[in-house]
Amino acid sequence: MNMKYGKSELSFNIDQDRVTKILEPNERPGIEDALRGVQEALNNPIGVPPLKELVNRKNPKSVVIVVNDITRPTPYESLLPPLLENLHASGISKDQITFLTATGIHDPHTHEQNVEVYGKNLVDEYKFVSHCADDVSSLLEFGELSTGLNLTINRLAAEADFLITLGVIMPHYFAGFSGGRKSILPGVAGRVCIEKNHSRMVYLMDDLPPLRRNPVNLEMIEAAKLVGVDFILNVVTNSKKEIVKIVAGDLESAWYEGASVSSDMYDVPIESKADVAIVSAGGYPRDINVYQAQKALDHADKATKLGGTIILIAECSQGYGECTFEEWMRDAKRPSDVIERIKKKFAMGGHKAYGICKVAEEKEIILISSLSKEQTEGLFMRKMDSVEEAIKYAEKKHDRPNYILMPYGSLTVPALCK
């Protein structure tokens, strides 16, 4: 069996008679001509007129395109050429366009990261700005939502004459799915605003409501509507990062259509939970750090029995990945310390610590990574150097355990059949 680890793979042997299920996405083949598919989506969007018509009607002086950061693989090579061609054909010049990287609370991009993600030619020819959730001078108070949330948004997005968001629609452990409205909240929102929105996760993660009733999702949609997103261009990709569905147009209806396709692909039924789950975050960049790899751990948790063992394969070449998260883990003597702390006062970064500790409280986590023994134990996990070593340990701990394998843990959401 091979599973992705950073930019390489780890191989291991396992008794297939003990494997109850290999959880993989219900794969769809990639679109043969993605560039043409994107152009067709721009010409025939959902819920709004074609992009060129919208741009000509508004005649904007400034266009802001909100894009994902390095932690979210996005096929820009297919999305951006047709999008920019349409904008330029509508009379929009290069100096009227700004790319705003939706970092949320992640670190701003370096120039080198911009080149890696978007390509040197694009970075050289267009203006790129990374959002910074803590830079008060770059934020604009946008008003209060029906939930009472005081919305603060990056000034570039708030003041854009025409606002476009790009994204990938993938499972998300408490918002339901990424993409769409998430480009705005949390993508380009202020830290306090993000924290208040995300604080609901503490009570949602164990019993996530249907997408259209999920309060985190609904608040994100309301925020994006208030800001005034004019057009979205989102895709659903398979495990090979090929585009299988393109949705464009209205913020809400186009995104929901894409989320339905993503759900069909990545929500995978299981008849029962396993003693042991072996899960890969899916390789780089989904295992770039612990902060990102936590999503795979959350999905593995849904497939593992109480008292079971999760073997997490994630290189984590950039360590923990976020300062507050690292601080919360360092301050805790046991998982329950984090669980109690977040219920008293929510903090971004702390929410990832909570996501890990709620699993560590009930199950043993073995981590195969580049982290040191000390760093690993600081996560309330056990470090091992190979998957074989972890399997041997699990065999001794459990009496002839059964296994669920999850090669694409960040994407695959186990759903227990009722």
Active site positions, annotated: 106, 172
Phi then psi for residue 397, to 5 deg, are -70, -45
Three-state SS sequence of the chain: CEEEECCEEEECCCCHHHEEEECCCCCCCCCCCHHHHHHHHHHCCECCCCHHHHHHHHCCCCEEEEEECCCCCCCHHHHHHHHHHHHHHCCCCHHHEEEEEECCCCCCCCHHHHHHHHCHHHHHHCEEEECCCCCHHHEEEEEECCCCCEEEEEHHHHCCCEEEEEEECCEECCCEECCHHHHCCCCCECHHHHHHHHCCHHHHCCCCCCHHHCHHHHHHHHHHHHHCCCEEEEEEECCCCCEEEEEEECCCHHHHHHHHHHHHHHEEEECCCEEEEEEECCCCCCCCCHHHHHHHHHHHHCCEEEEEEEEEECCCCCCCCCHHHHHHHHHCCCHHHHHHHHHHCCCCCHHHHHHHHHHHCCCEEEEECCCCHHHHHCCCCEECCCHHHHHHHHHHHCCCCCEEEECCCCCCEEEECC
Helix 350-360 with 323-331: angle, nearest 10 deg: 40
The tokens describing 395, both together, are 């065999």
Compute the distance between CA of residue 287 and CA of residue 279 in angstroms, rounded to an integer: 11
Strand partners, 67: 101
How many Cβ atoms from other residues are within 10 Å of residue 134's Cβ?
10
Compute the distance between CA of residue 117 and CA of residue 94 in angstroms, rounded to an integer: 19
Phi then psi for residue 305, to 5 deg, are -65, 155
Sign of CA dihedral 105, 312, 288, 72: negative
